[in-house]
A and B are shown apart, each in its own frame.
Chain A
Amino acid sequence: MKTDELIQSLVLEARPVRPLASPARLAAALALCAVAVTLLGAWLLGLRPDLGGQLLDRRFLMINSMLLMTLGAAALALGTLAVPGRRRFKVRIAFGLILLAVLIGMFLMRRPWFSGVGWGLWFSIGAYCTARTLLLGALPAAAGLWMHRHGAPMHPAVSGGLIGGAAGSQGANAMGWACEIDEPMHVLVWHFLIPSALLAVLGVWAGRRWLRW
């Protein structure tokens, strides 16, 4: 096909297009997704018995707020990555990483890190929590990939990794409402780091495959 013929056929397909969602709409969709994942977690896993007390606990609230802020930073970076010609995504990713570092610091400041249960029990309970966090994170990961395909992702692997990591944060947030173990190492490793890292790796793979255009 010659280029002139191609132009002719593209002109025949000229129709009004719906612009990409504004940042405000994206933020609203994200907040809705976070609520949906938390509700799904509550429905599948139940709520922790001491949730009432936890909601008044400053540390619980701060950690969950930080998780949501990290998620927001990832969403901002994703919004930039989905539009050709925008270059500020590196700044936004760096901002997200700083939030992540603060979040990890908040976990490490809490004592005792480890409650002293046997390693076998620590691993088996941890693996159980990780499996559920992954399950909760899978839904926002799939939704994020699907939404991102509507844009024009300039760095599909980076976008996929960010989507996976952010979905892991959502899963960790929802898991915090169900799991009553507050030991910092348990929450950091099994609710947050391992599921987010696994989802990020899967996201990189999926991004290379499905976000190309």
Chain B
Amino acid sequence: MTARPNASGGDLKHSALERELSGWMTQAQQGDGEAYRALLEKLSQLARRYVRHALGRRRGLDEGDCEDVVQEILLAVHGKRHTHDPRRFFLPWFYAVARYKVIDEIRRLSSARQAVSYTEELEIAGRPEDIGARMDVQRLLRGLPHKQRKILRLVKLAGLSVEETSGRTGYSQADVRVSVHRALKALRKRMELAGDEDR
């Protein structure tokens, strides 16, 4: 039985998937690693399907970027798993988290498009030689989500280790690693875009 984001309480009550995930989540909240692994593996499948539908098909996001959003969702589940009340249904909680991250990605995409059109405006204004100079570190960093910017500053500019950054920011070490990876990837992409426009 496939549970959908808008499935009603009645549907969920009889859903084997809901019971299974809810059980794993309760065990994971108590620190059971194996239940947590099973939960995350199943959630990655559900998240992938949801993201492909919401961002891949509808917004034309490529497979790699969809997978990044899936990872963001898993990190969010990890960071906010204490907010799930075991007496309530699990799937509405999970899809609300997934939806939040998908909306975040849509916002990021639209702001990235705005950044591209900003450089286009500069080009039209006849100052293409300024574009490279303007794409300095600070401006590049400003285009990143707050969390990635903060973590990248600490790891790459302040030279802190992953452990130190995790301790200082409160994000898990896995989250710090993924955020650095994601931030560098986003910066590379933005620089390539800027480079293409320079040519």
Counting contact residues on chain B (CB < 8 A from A), the size range is 35 or more
Q: Flag if A10 contacts B40 (CB, 8 Å).
A: yes
Q: Flag if B97 contacts A84 (CB, 8 Å).
A: yes
Which residues 36-68 in B have Cβ within 8 Å of A in the complex?
Answer: 36-37, 40-41, 44, 67
> Given the complex, which residues of A lie within 8 Å of B37, measured CB to CB?
7, 11
Q: Flag if A84 contacts B96 (CB, 8 Å).
A: yes
Which residues 1-54 in A have Cβ within 8 Å of B in the complex?
Answer: 1, 3, 6-7, 9-20
Main secondary structure of the interface of B (DSSP, over half): helix
> Given the complex, which residues of B lie within 8 Å of A85, measured CB to CB?
88-89, 92-96
Q: Flag if A17 contacts B85 (CB, 8 Å).
A: no
Per the bound structure, the CA–CA distance linking A206 and B174 in Å amounts to 27
| Residue tally, chain A, CB below 8 Å to B | 26
Q: Flag if A151 contacts B78 (CB, 8 Å).
A: no
Task: Write out, one digit per residue, whether chain A residues 183-213 have a CB within 8 A of any chain B CB (1) or not (0).
Answer: 0000000000000000000000000010011
- Partner pick for B74 among A6, A16, A83, A209, CB 8 A cutoff: A6
Q: Cβ of B146 < 8 Å from any Cβ of A?
A: yes
Residues in B lying within 8 Å of A, measured CB to CB: 28-33, 36-37, 40-41, 44, 67, 70-71, 74-76, 78-85, 88-89, 92-97, 100, 104, 146-147, 172-174, 177-178, 181
Residues in A lying within 8 Å of B, measured CB to CB: 1, 3, 6-7, 9-20, 82-85, 151-152, 154, 209, 212-213
